[in-house]
Chains A and B, each alone.
Chain A
Amino acid sequence: MLAEERREQFKADVAQLKLKTGTSRNDTILMAVGGIAMLVGVVAAFLIYETSLSKNNALSIASEQVAAIAFLGVTVIGAALFLTGAIARVLRIWLLRQLYEGQAHVEQLSAAVRGR
């Protein structure tokens, strides 16, 4: 294979490279899934509960209320996912800020030491 062809192949391979970096994208996905689960849970639980009020059969009422409680569970799980994503994002920004400030502090100290 000619060097030029090999180089082009190399560039193409690098372009297709999958890197395990940028995990902050997962935060957005978690927050989106959590938000949707919360919304669906609350709306579905309310609707099922409302429907159960118009029922006369005790068995139907009980089963619909169980379904409503299950959807409340979905709401809780959604809230947990949303909070995980939001907190991870805040902590990541906080960590970056700490690193940045730490580095600036080290540079300031080393500049001061050099100046002596």
Chain B
Amino acid sequence: MSTASDLSVTPATTDAPLLELRGVRAAYGSIEVLHGVDLAVPPGAVVALLGPNGGGKSTTLRVCAGLMPVTAGEFVVAGRVVNGVPASELARLGVCTLPEGRGIFPNLTVRENLWLATGTGVSLAAIEESAYQRFPILGRRRTQLAGTLSGGEQQMLALSRAISTRPTLLLLDELSMGLAPLIVTQMYDTVRELAGEGLSILVAEQFARTVLPIAHSAAIMLHGRIVRVGTPDEIEHELSTHYLGG
């Protein structure tokens, strides 16, 4: 296991991280679930946050999205400590979250779901063009209720809505949850394309091997702590040790 001193993500670029957690602690009521998390997302990098269920990955993402307050430590965005910043403010600035469970509105059609993203100032036509170009299947299902789409299509819709807001930082929580392996590969190919376009991405993923091929760096999280940070190759060799608690 690594010591605390070497728990820093190696940046893909030499720029200062776009998002950084320094010794962050967070709690649900009196129960602390993050016990001093150190994590950095450099500009244009894909950082994978891995670990078994209950490790604190989703909570870390909630902290990064401003949905959960930091009880100690520093939450730094673009070099500035922003502890206590509301989620709405971060979303307005360009931090976009794709929550676990997709976060679509099942009783609205595909088009209406995309319509909701126009609140960020982008026109519906532009959002639709971008979404249907990236995922042509959504174009064919534009009048269909989102709840009747397959899991993969729902995830495509959620991802389309997220990226149509032109975010700077994308937070993805369990993108592969409940999806067929083929669809997972397709989703992560899209994430790879987005990273290629310069987007900074933090992905929390239980199934590590689905995300490691596209990640620039990875961190393993156990019991609310980052226990190992390294390149995807380094992490891949140690996955079973950490996941099985060996």
How long is the Cα–Cα vector from A93 to B83 in the complex, in angstroms? Answer: 19
Chain B residue contacts of A2, Cβ below 8 A = 198
Chain B residues numbered 190-215 whose CB sits less than 8 Å from any CB in chain A = 197-200
Interface members, chain B 82-134 (any A CB < 8 Å):
82-85, 89, 93-94
Residues of B contacting A17 with CB < 8 Å? 80, 82, 85, 89, 93
Rounded to whole Å, the gap between the CB of B86 and the closest CB of chain A is 9
- How many A-B residue pairs have C-beta atoms within 8 angstroms? Tell me: 50
Interface of A is mostly: helix
CB distance from A114 to the nearest CB of B (A): 12
Inter-chain contacts of A94 with B (CB < 8 A): none
How many residues on the A side are at the interface (Cβ–Cβ under 8 A)?
17
A3 at the B interface (CB under 8 A): yes
Taking CB atoms and an 8 Å cut-off, the chain A residues in 78-95 that contact chain B are none
User: In the complex, what residue of chain A is closest to B194 when comparing beta carbons?
Assistant: A3
Minimal beta-carbon separation of B94 from chain A (angstroms): 5
B55 contacts across to A, CB distance below 8 A:
none
Q: What 5 A-B pairs are tightest by C-beta distance, nearest first?
A: A3-B198, A10-B168, A14-B78, A11-B78, A21-B84
B: which residues have CB within 8 A of A? Answer: 18, 43-44, 72, 77-80, 82-85, 89, 93-94, 166, 168-169, 197-200
Q: Can you sample 14 A-B contacts with CB below 8 Å?
A: A3-B44, A6-B94, A6-B198, A7-B43, A7-B198, A10-B18, A10-B169, A14-B78, A14-B79, A14-B80, A17-B89, A17-B93, A19-B83, A19-B84
